[in-house]
Structure 1
């Protein structure tokens, strides 16, 4: 055996050199959706090496090495992995949701979150932005990134931040005795005044959050009496935004009422989540400032429908808000897209059952968004909102091998996206062959 060959074999066995034929995965795609142009390209091959796409080629490329794998998707439509910019992996809808805050331990929450992550991945969502939980979401992000558990790539806000009595104040509606006993502060996501707001941001940065999530108005699924009123001053939001910006973190803002939205947009938040009661002025302000809108239509529909069908499912104060606020979200979204507000896909999964995220595509198109633009919201736009368009959002060389395949043509029948037959994340197949 020549000395060069012996040396290469030795180096390969020690992991110091690549084998002569590195394994590639070739995906033969009957139709490939180019989300930039909106065109369906026929008979394309995606070449995957390790966790990246290395090429997209016209025609069906044959295997070039004995270890190459060919995956036949010739009857499918192939798209980039979907991105959901608003989920809560720690949460699941239940009649017991309020009681479980007092009965579940962090380990209980973690096991549930792991299961929710896998269901989400298998639904075709290869990346998610977790918009707040107990902090278990940070540990889950690490576990997924390290390959310890399967799940989508996670960007997380850790614990979200609001004012006393705000959406993140878990003592809303409790007795005075319990409020005195718990007395949440910045570590628990409750902050008042610019100084405490800065401290709350730094707490989440220290814990390892990727972004900051705040609430500038009340919410639906808390025990406060009103979900629409503004609950942070513009000065407080500016303190949050500036501190987060100094630390390299974007700010997502939960907001339903128009005044709280306008304060947040003027203060420079990156995105408005929900925006149920956006008025014309708020929409124009968002368009002018290029503030992202993450509408979560499915969440609004889900809570309103549940409150109508099951009057005893929610506490009365929550049921009233679900009916008055949740039912308006889709119509508000339809108005916002006419004002050229930038839209990124998000669903508030955890408010409804995980794994049904793709129903949002249909609700967006019902409101007037073109199917290709709904898909772009969950690919191109979502990648830009996450600040990672170099790795996510399209099927192009150099991007992560996050790939979904469905039957039929989603540009004609958007509901096909709810039934993926193939899901790959970073080169590993989770659904399909």
Structure 2
């Protein structure tokens, strides 16, 4: 493993936010995310930061104890948002935020958006970059400076000089500079590396792409790529990328390659979904021409046929919202999942929930600790009013969020 980030060597006498680990028995409908398992009138017991028991409430003899909470709702694993940008606010222009926001303002935005994430039942955020802001957010959570979800960060996304969203990324040219860019993110404490592999055209030379992927893997980290159409998805997977962000049109040949290499896709429909709703679009000053464009995009199911075919073939589809994009706040969960079901990249509501729990945990190599409600897993647990299997909007009504047994909502 690479050397730890410098802040990891700091001695911490005590966290500023010292939130206690609770002992609770939560009673309600339990969605374990182990397949389609549902325990009606079930319980989840959390203690010392872990899940110690899951089962039927009728098996308990202590339901009148003070540590028992009868939720009258649904209990599910803490969710992952596997594509988010904590330092973007979902309101203002992305480029102007990236160019104009001071590091201090980016930190405040990240803090606010971590709280929004927790209130939405998101207990792990995979932050895919906005300048170097996520380094500070990661440190703040890890050192108990600010309460937040678990963070998996890329540091700065890496882009060819002048490439897609160069104004918020680490620009690099040539193979050696690509390796240097990776090493800088590793030094800062990145959990993964992200590259911007395309916009309208392919980006990176073959030598650059080979170098950035090799250097990432040499450092023991996964690498993910912004890739939005068939030829670029095929290219980056062939070169050895581990995850595809966004996805797009997919040929049968590319789907076969994704399956062969076991590469998942993190879909991010929320921007077009949110911006296609007139009252939302106008609230966020989305121009009429873009509203019309978005409405056309959400209505055209053929646009997503390749992703649907990939999912049906067995390519893992993982929940992400591109949170921080215009009109996409970090609390937006159900619109993304509803659209995933609508276009067929997941088969039903439970599969949509698993895309943010068990499937996401597996993609992030955390499935031994997270993603399902099972004894021995870390106590990342969420309680919502209502039944999301009947209506995913129930996920908008989070009443409790625990991260490793600490109640943060």
Alignment of 1:31-110 (within 5 A): 31-59=29-57, 61-63=60-62, 69-73=67-71, 75-110=72-107
Is the 2:131–2:170 Cα contact (8 Å) retained in structure 1?
Answer: no
Q: Which moved more, 1:277-286 or 1:137-146?
A: 277-286
Is the 2:22–2:406 Cα contact (8 Å) retained in structure 1?
Answer: no
Q: Distance in 2 between matches of 1:405 and 1:302?
A: 25
1:340 pairs, out of 314, 318, 321, with 314
TM-aligned CA distance change 1:278 to 1:301, over 3 Å? farther
Secondary structure of 2:401's counterpart equals: strand
The two structures have a TM-score, normalised by structure 1, of 0.80
Secondary structure of 1:86's counterpart equals: strand
Q: Distance in 2 between matches of 1:390 and 1:168?
A: 35
TM-aligned CA distance change 1:323 to 1:250, over 3 Å? farther
Match of 1:422 in 2: 400
Residue by residue over 1:142-172, the C-alpha shift from the partner in whole angstroms, topping out at 9 and shown as x without a partner, is 211222212211100010011122123129x
Match of 1:355 in 2: 331
Shift of 1:317: 12
Alignment of 1:119-130 (within 5 A): 119-130=116-127
1:378 pairs, out of 342, 345, 356, with 356
Shift of 1:30: 2.3
Is the 2:271–2:321 Cα contact (8 Å) retained in structure 1?
Answer: yes
Is the 1:51–1:400 Cα contact (8 Å) retained in structure 2?
Answer: yes
Alignment of 1:161-180 (within 5 A): 161-170=158-167
Is 1:204 equivalent to 2:185 in the alignment? Answer: yes
Q: CA RMSD in A?
A: 3.1
Secondary structure of 2:210's counterpart equals: helix
Match of 2:215 in 1: 243
TM-aligned CA distance change 1:128 to 1:317, over 3 Å? same
Is 1:400 equivalent to 2:364 in the alignment? Answer: no
Match of 1:409 in 2: 387
Residue by residue over 1:19-44, the C-alpha shift from the partner in whole angstroms, topping out at 9 and shown as x without a partner, is xxxx9623232221131231211333
Residue by residue over 1:318-360, the C-alpha shift from the partner in whole angstroms, topping out at 9 and shown as x without a partner, is 9999789888765553343233221111111011122113321
Count how many residue pairs are aligned between Structure 1 and Structure 2: 382
Secondary structure of 1:149's counterpart equals: coil
Please say which structure displays the higher CA radius of gyration. 1
TM-aligned CA distance change 1:64 to 1:146, over 3 Å? farther
TM-aligned CA distance change 1:419 to 1:316, over 3 Å? closer
Is the 1:300–1:327 Cα contact (8 Å) retained in structure 2?
Answer: no
Alignment of 1:131-142 (within 5 A): 131-142=128-139
Is the 1:52–1:426 Cα contact (8 Å) retained in structure 2?
Answer: yes
Shift of 1:275: 1.2
Q: Which moved more, 1:333-342 or 1:29-38?
A: 333-342
Match of 1:290 in 2: 262
Match of 2:249 in 1: 277
Structure with more contact order per residue of length (Cα contacts < 8 Å, sep ≥ 6):
2
The two structures have a TM-score, normalised by structure 2, of 0.84
Gaps of 5+ in 1: 1-22, 172-187, 219-227
Is the 1:229–1:259 Cα contact (8 Å) retained in structure 2?
Answer: no
Is the 2:76–2:382 Cα contact (8 Å) retained in structure 1?
Answer: yes
Shift of 1:127: 0.6
Q: Distance in 1 between matches of 2:22 and 2:126?
A: 30
Match of 1:175 in 2: none
Shift of 1:98: 3.2
Shift of 1:65: 12
Gaps of 5+ in 2: 1-20
Match of 1:388 in 2: 366
Q: Distance in 2 between matches of 1:143 and 1:385?
A: 25
Q: Distance in 2 between matches of 1:80 and 1:333?
A: 26
Secondary structure of 1:302's counterpart equals: helix
Shift of 1:192: 2.3
Secondary structure of 2:398's counterpart equals: coil
Q: Distance in 1 between matches of 2:173 and 2:292?
A: 27
Residue by residue over 1:181-217, the C-alpha shift from the partner in whole angstroms, topping out at 9 and shown as x without a partner, is xxxxxxx511223222111111110111110010110
Secondary structure of 2:117's counterpart equals: helix
